[in-house]
Chains A and B, each alone.
Chain A
Amino acid sequence: MKTKEDFPSINERVPEGQRPDGVPFRVLVVDDSMFVAKQITQILTSEGYDVVGQAADGLQGLERYKELYPNVDLVTMDITMPNMDGLTALSKIIEFDKNARVIMISALGKQDLVKQALLTGAKNYIVKPLDRKKVLERISHVLSK
């Protein structure tokens, strides 16, 4: 999505996607929509995050997480996906790593599933359409805890 904020900032500051020492946070993006995955990746990389992996369904997401672990700081997880849905993948990731930081990406109208995800251990959620500001806010909030 094109927004004014996509233009680079000329002010000097540490991008949100990096720790104070300049090492970027590592994110795994799990989404079956090529468009959404690309959108999240663009938003995150523009802010200094390192998207270390992408997966097109929950099963792939779980496998990628296990491969990357412990070199992954955050997962963005779509809810509705083929093969394995985001809720199942979330609970399996948490089973594997109880400290996993997973943020759910949801379409509007999935409140029940979002609630269930938060109870299962998701740290936060973002409702589509994705807004750059909202995405960055939620993610940096989860990483700051």
Chain B
Amino acid sequence: MRVEYINPFVESAFNVMKEVLLADVKRGELYLKSTSMPVMGVAAIVGLAGDVEGRVLFDMDRPTALKIASAMNGEEITTMDDLAKATITELANMITAQAVTKLHELGFRFDLTPPAIFTGDNMEVSNQDVEALIVPMETPQGKVEINVAIRERA
């Protein structure tokens, strides 16, 4: 997978999280996975289809998701209820929208699916025929991994 696909996601995740969490966000080392990998407990997924196809996963553990939802709502949220899910979904929405704008500027044309949220234990994600690039982001609320698996349409 070409790195130019992931950079817009990393940049926009960095910008959006800094803005909505009003905090410092640090970018970790990018790594590559071609086999299945565990999902931390709460994952928002957005699908892409067009010139490029694949998906972007925003992956975090449950305490991190709750802390992020709390920070974004300005109130303490202690269970993964509808509001918490809507908040994480909206975070994924904003990050993806900003990244896609950059990719469109680079000339890629594709559509997005509305974000979906998965919650649960012992989940894993596998990609056939496409490797995933993962960028961990450190926020004061915990770690969020941006997991991008995109390829050009054959």
Contact = CB atoms under 8 A, between A and B. Distances in A.
Q: Are A and B part of the same complex?
A: yes
Interface in A35-84: 35-36, 38-39, 42, 80
Interface residues of B, number: 22
Interface in A16-51: 33-36, 38-39, 42
Given A1-B20, A38-B73, A109 B82 contact: no
B50 to A, nearest CB: 13
A107 B90 CA distance: 10
A109 B100 contact: yes
Given A2-B74, A6-B74, A129-B20, A35 B86 contact: yes
Nearest to B17: A129
Contacts, number: 54
Contacts of A129: 16, 19-20, 94
B22 interface: yes
B71 interface: yes
A129 B13 CA distance: 12
15 contacts: A1-B20, A33-B86, A35-B87, A35-B89, A38-B73, A39-B73, A107-B93, A107-B98, A108-B94, A128-B90, A128-B94, A129-B16, A129-B19, A129-B20, A129-B94
Interface of B: 16, 19-20, 22, 71-74, 82-83, 86-87, 89-90, 93-94, 97-98, 100-101, 104, 114
Given A33-B86, A35-B86, A129-B20, 4 more contacts: A34-B86, A35-B90, A107-B98, A128-B97
